[in-house]
Amino acid sequence: MWKSLLDSAAANPFCSPFNTASCEGRIHAVPGRNIAAAAAYSSPEDSCEFASGKYFALCGLGGILSCGITHTMVVPLDLVKCRLQVDPAKYKNVFNGFKVTLKEDGMRGLAKGWAPTFFGYSMQGLCKFGLYEVFKVFYSNILGEENSYVWRTSLYLAASATAEFFADIALSPMESAKVRIQTQPGFVTTLRAALPIMYREEGLNSFYKSLVPLWMRQIPYTMMKFACFERTIEILYKYVVPKPRSECTKGEQLVVTFAAGYIAGIFCAIVSHPADTVVSKLNQDKGSTALEAAKKLGFAGMWKGLMPRIVMIGTLTAAQWFIYDAVKVWLRLPRPPPPEMPESLKRKLEAKAQ
């Protein structure tokens, strides 16, 4: 399956799913016509060709670094957020949550769950970013250049949803361990101690019982994360940034990436928060189902901890996009510019207008 996807992506006739590319080197274009082949976009400075196996592998590496590092950095805030969701009577707000945690567990208590967070979200990042690039090119190859531009938002949504489906399968065991370590009183505090206990108590179901609510949380989150980011990048370069992307330095481009990532993160936090609360409650209460957890929480209860999650996810998403784009710069990967309407589509619209 994966080989066919990679082969199809590599055979994609245009460098980006949506935009045309300028011609360089020995490739000569007819005046006024854009060449959309991947080879036309590649420059001598690039370390690999767009949509090659190496390109997708290095994108996966960027995903590992962006997700693994950022999620581990915000473990203290994530711990307080989870406890606020599952025990609002004890942890009344964010500041109170930090105060109670420090009083009971000390500074080390704020780092509970760092290991499953790092390993789980590194695996998720590999699939999330790596497979997003694969499916984005794969689906655009099916649609064709013009339809890929017209339906680009739908394409972003479909590619990110498919990638996240697989990413959550990789994440689920570590996420289950993380939540139990962080929220279940008296439970062990290390990953190596948690995994055998969880398997002994409920078998493989202990690691995957929250997979469906995890999909419910992460798939809408990721769809918003990628689609909102891609469209925000377009808007920023079109209406906010005072010069074309091609004239911006790499540093200036990364600043725009960070800004678009933070905007996308705010929307991500809102659309995925109820399911995130259910996941936390589900992993805290052994043997309960997602529906039972939702009933216990109630509608208002599912929105507990939203503000710290907006701060956490906004910062997290911005940092992830910044690191991911910075890794692409560092590894000299092709970085297609924001999408532009293909010339063939422009001519069709002009013909209709006449």
Contact call for residues 278 and 297 (beta carbons, < 8 A): yes
User: Could you tell me if residue 29 is inside a domain?
Assistant: no
Residues in Cβ contact with 271 at an 8 Å cutoff, skipping those fewer than 6 apart: 220, 221, 224
- What is the per-residue pLDDT for 28? 37
pLDDT at 22 over 50: no
Lowest mean pLDDT among 2-6, 241-245, 334-338: 2-6
User: Could you tell me if residue 210 is inside a domain?
Assistant: yes
User: Could you tell me if residue 131 is inside a domain?
Assistant: yes
The rounded mean pLDDT for the chain is 85
CATH number of the domain at 83, please. Answer: 1.50.40.10
300-338 confidence digits (pLDDT tens): 888 888 888 888 788 889 999 999 999 999 999 999 888
User: Could you tell me if residue 43 is inside a domain?
Assistant: no
Contact call for residues 179 and 284 (beta carbons, < 8 A): yes
pTM: 0.80
Range of the domain at 310: 2-12+48-349
For residues 255 and 21, the model is more confident at 255
User: Could you tell me if residue 17 is inside a domain?
Assistant: no
Provide the domain count of the chain. Answer: 1
Rounded average pLDDT over 273-285: 78
